[in-house]
Amino acid sequence: MNANVGTVDKIVRLILALALFSLFFLLPGDERWLALAGFIPLVTGLINWCPLYTLFGINTCRR
């Protein structure tokens, strides 16, 4: 796995993850499970690799 997520992309992903996790406190009842979608940008931002970027040949990482 080569890194394909750049610094700016990583920061945006981590902010998006925090925003999605905050839905847990904002949404009522059974809709709170939508906050779990925050794990996707969190993990891809932390490991600097996105499987969809690999599929589409996108690389935002500087070399």
In a domain, 16, yes or no: yes
Q: What is the pLDDT of residue 31?
A: 93
pLDDT at position 37 is 95
Q: Is residue 62 part of a domain?
A: no
Q: What is the pLDDT of residue 1?
A: 81
Positions in the chain short of pLDDT 70: none
Residue 22 lies in a domain: yes
C-alpha–C-alpha distance, residues 23 and 37, integer Å: 10
Domain around 42: 7-56
Question: Does residue 23 lie in a domain region?
Answer: yes
Confirm whether 61 is domain-assigned.
Answer: no
What's the confidence (pLDDT) of residue 8? 96
Supply 36's token pair.
């779990």
pLDDT at 45: 96
Q: Is the pTM of this model over 0.85?
A: yes
Residue 63 lies in a domain: no
Say what the pLDDT of residue 62 is. Answer: 86
Residue 38 placed within a domain: yes
Distance CA 61, CA 8 (A): 9
How many distinct structural domains can be found in the chain?
Answer: 1
